[in-house]
Amino acid sequence: MVDTNSSESSATYFILIGLPGLEEAQFWLAFPLCSLYLIAVLGNLTIIYIVRTEHRLHEPMYIFLCMLSGLDILISTSSMPKMMAIFWFNSTTIQFDACLVQMFAIHSLSGMESTVLLAMAFDRYVAICHPLRHATVLTLPRVAKIGMAAVVRGAALMAPLPVFIKRLPFCRSNILSHSYCLHQDVMKLACADIRVNVIYGLIVIISAIGLDSLLISFSYLLILKTVLGLTREAQAKAFSTCVSHVCAVFIFYVPFIGLSMVHRFSKRRDSLLPVIMANIYLLIPPVLNPIVYGVKTKEIRQRILRLFLTTTHT
């Protein structure tokens, strides 16, 4: 990739190492990972199909869920095919521009998903705290605009990312410690001052993930305050409508925050922990979200059962 005798050089490709220390086992580990990926795609496509074909589910809560499912499919697809190629065919090389595209896709889609989770929290807040205004506040055209705003926000936050990476000279190893391209991983290979990249990364995390998680927490404090003043039956109904979203929030934010913390404070590039956490971050939420919503949401659960019974009888 680079001339090691030169003080500055441009990267043309990187090597994705896969799972450090588990190279011999990667071929077999790819089978359960591929199964999880297929479950994620099938599960989220099922959610999208059910909401699209069931007219009584054409409500903000379920439309936001469709957005979440679509983003989960895109996030897992942005990394899993290349990961499978590494594990099964030892295709470890990724061109610099392809690495930038993958990096931009992963980070921007994550920002979009965070925005959708925030929109879902706002939907629950209006539905529980101001139920009479829900139909007028969250109309379908407004929900569509929120979805577009999530896409624009995620893409805009990550638009400077390729520029900040391309400005860096690379004269160290071209081996990345993950199975896909991450900003934190790539910038550590640069042989120049990366403070601009570090500051940019912190700004993005604070303005997107930090702000969204804070607003989601605040919305649930207001929801809790309202619910505590209801009857027991109404409390149970209100809590049941929030459980799935709360699970989705934890499933998304806990791995993300954990991965960010490990990258900030880990000194060893050959450590397996950040790699495992990175794979969990991109694969587990897409797998668990449709399961959680399928189990905890009555309307979706009933439609899945009807779909399954119809398929088995035919």
- DSSP lists the bridge partners of residue 16 as 176
| Predicted pLDDT of residue 8 | 45
Tens digits of residue pLDDT in 111-146? 999 999 999 999 999 999 999 999 999 999 999 999
Q: Tell me whether strands 13-16 and 93-95 are parallel, antiparallel or unpaired.
A: antiparallel
Query: What does the alpha-carbon distance between residue 215 and residue 211 come to, in Å, rounded to a whole number?
Result: 6
Gap between the Cα atoms of 255 and 261, Å rounded: 10
- For residue 294, the model assigns a pLDDT of 83
pLDDT of residue 141: 93
CB 117 within 8 A of CB 214: no
pLDDT of residue 1: 44
For every residue of 68-122, DSSP letters joined together read HHHHHHHHHHHHHHHHHHHHHH---EEEHHHHHHHHHHHHHHHHHHHHHHHHHHH
Query: Rounded distance, CA 275 to CA 266, Å?
Result: 12
**Cα 311 to Cα 50, 142, 280, 287, 304, distances in angstroms:** 14, 36, 32, 22, 10
Distance (Å, rounded) from C-alpha 308 to C-alpha 314? 10
In our burial notation (b when 16+ CB lie closer than 10 A, e otherwise), range 236-250 reads eebeebbebbbbbbe
Q: Which residues of the chain have pLDDT under 70?
A: 1-11, 263-271, 310-314
**Domain 13-300, architecture per CATH:** Up-down Bundle (1.20)
In the chain, where the domains are located? 13-300
- Residue whose C-alpha is closest to residue 20's, from 270, 301, 191: 270
Tokens of 78: 């942005």
Residue located via tokens 């990345």: 176
